[in-house]
Amino acid sequence: MLERLQKNGVYKAIFERRDVREFNSKPLPEEKLKSILLAGHHAPSVGFMQPWDFILIESQEVKDSLAKACQKEILALAIHYEDEKKTKFLSLKLEGLKEAPVTICVTCDPTRGGGHVLGRNSIPETDILSVACCIQNMWLAAYAEGVAMGWVSFYKKTDVREILHIPPHIEPVALISLGFTDNYPQAPILEKENWEKRVQINNLIHYDNWNSSKHNLFK
């Protein structure tokens, strides 16, 4: 019984975690923040390099500066879209970045572990992939803690480096906002807004090689 409940809890978190854009004024308890950070720090990493760092941002002035940098990037990227899609893109809200009690910049240090990290010698991008695993752990832990989490990815790295005084060789991978929300999305926001539809998984499965015929594993 306990094992089944634990298994169900894992899949519930995977399927129901959402990218949240609206936060209320409720403060984030330190114990929940610590649990989320600890989950991130226990993510798998290639060569056990653990390339992540966490910059905790609670200053409203710094949050406002980051939001301004992100808004500038959204306006610059809007040129790539037209009509309804452009309108939807420009309507992406950054208030959450300013409203959430805590924003975390998750970074990647490509030099951590030295020049010969197991696995990274063959595929250099595994440092960023390891940080992505860290962020996903944080997302699942946030859901388990009843905490809303939003991932903002519209910014120029040079702007974020300047605002947060990050050294040039360190990659600012993500701005993560944490807090509580009164409007937890029942479906992914972009799916709900008809930005894209979820791809049928059967169309993504190949057997033995890329050009193999498709099987209906999921019926």
Q: Is residue 142 part of a domain?
A: yes
| Contacts of residue 27, Cβ cutoff 8 Å, sequence gap at least 6 | 101
Q: How far is CA 8 from CA 1, 2, 12, 154, in A?
A: 11, 10, 6, 34
Q: Is residue 61 part of a domain?
A: yes
Q: How far is CA 7 from CA 3, 10, 12, 139, in A?
A: 6, 5, 9, 17
| Contacts of residue 58, Cβ cutoff 8 Å, sequence gap at least 6 | 101, 102
Q: Is residue 6 part of a domain?
A: no
Q: Is residue 100 part of a domain?
A: yes
- Alpha-carbon distance of 100 to 198, in angstroms, equals 28
| Structural domain span for residue 108 | 18-204
Q: Reduce the DSSP state of residue 76 to 3 states and report it.
A: helix
Q: Is residue 11 part of a domain?
A: no
| Contacts of residue 108, Cβ cutoff 8 Å, sequence gap at least 6 | 51, 52, 127, 128, 130, 131, 170, 171, 173
CATH number, domain at 197? Answer: 3.40.109.10
Q: Is residue 217 part of a domain?
A: no
* Overall number of domains in the chain: 1
- Alpha-carbon distance of 101 to 112, in angstroms, equals 30
- What are the pLDDT tens digits along the chain (219 aa)? 778 888 999 999 999 999 998 999 999 999 999 999 999 999 999 989 999 999 999 999 999 999 999 988 888 777 777 766 656 555 666 778 899 999 999 999 999 987 777 777 788 899 999 999 999 999 999 999 999 999 988 899 999 999 999 999 999 999 999 999 998 988 887 777 777 889 989 888 888 899 987 778 887
- Alpha-carbon distance of 163 to 19, in angstroms, equals 24
Q: Is residue 219 part of a domain?
A: no
Q: Is residue 210 part of a domain?
A: no
pTM above 0.85, yes or no: yes
